[in-house]
Amino acid sequence: MAHIIQVGAGSGGMVVLDLLAREPLVSRITIIEPDIYKPHNVARHYFPKETAGARKSELARQWLLALRPDLEVCCLELDLLSPAAQPQIEEAVATADIGVCAVDNEPAKYHWDGLMRKYKKPWTLGEVLSGGIGGFVHVFRPNGACYGCVASYLQRSVQVDNSPPPDYSQPGGPVYEVTIPASKASITAIASLHALVTLELLQDANYDPGFTSVLLALRRVPQVFEEVLRPYRFRIERMRECLFCGEAATAGAAEDLDVALAQALDRLAHA
Partner 1 sequence: MTRPSDLEMLNPLRSMLRHLTGRHASLRTLGELLAEDLLAECSRQEQAMGLLDSEAGKRRLLTVEIPAIERYNEGRDPEFRIRLVRQGSNLVLCYRLMPTHNIYELETRLYSSYPIVPPETRVLTPLRHCPHLLEGQTLCLWRQGSSRQNSRWDPARYTCIFAVQAAWRWLACYEIWYDTGEWPLPEAR
User: Counting contacts by CB under 8 A, is residue 152 touching partner 1?
Assistant: yes
- 3 state SS of 71: coil
User: Counting contacts by CB under 8 A, is residue 171 touching partner 1?
Assistant: yes
Burial of 187 (0-12, 13-18, 19+ CB in 10 A): buried
CB 149 within 8 A of CB 242: yes
User: Counting contacts by CB under 8 A, is residue 93 touching partner 1?
Assistant: no
Per-residue binding string, partner 1, 217-236, x by CB under 8 A, is --------------------
User: Counting contacts by CB under 8 A, is residue 48 touching partner 1?
Assistant: no
Q: What is the distance between the alpha carbons of residues 132 and 135, in angstroms, rounded to a whole number?
A: 7
User: Counting contacts by CB under 8 A, is residue 175 touching partner 1?
Assistant: no
Give per-residue burial for 105-143: e unless 16+ CB within 10 Å, then b: eeebbebbbebbbebebbbbbbbbbebbbbbbbbbbbee
Helices (H) and strands (E) in the chain, counts: 8, 8
User: Counting contacts by CB under 8 A, is residue 172 touching partner 1?
Assistant: yes
Q: Which is nearer to partner 1, 1 or 271 (CB)?
A: 271
Which chain residues interact with partner 1 by CB under 8 A?
36, 38-39, 52-53, 79, 81-84, 86, 105-107, 110-111, 114, 146, 148-149, 151-152, 155-156, 159, 161-163, 165-166, 168, 171-172, 239, 241-244, 248-251, 253-254, 257-258, 260-261, 264-265, 268-271
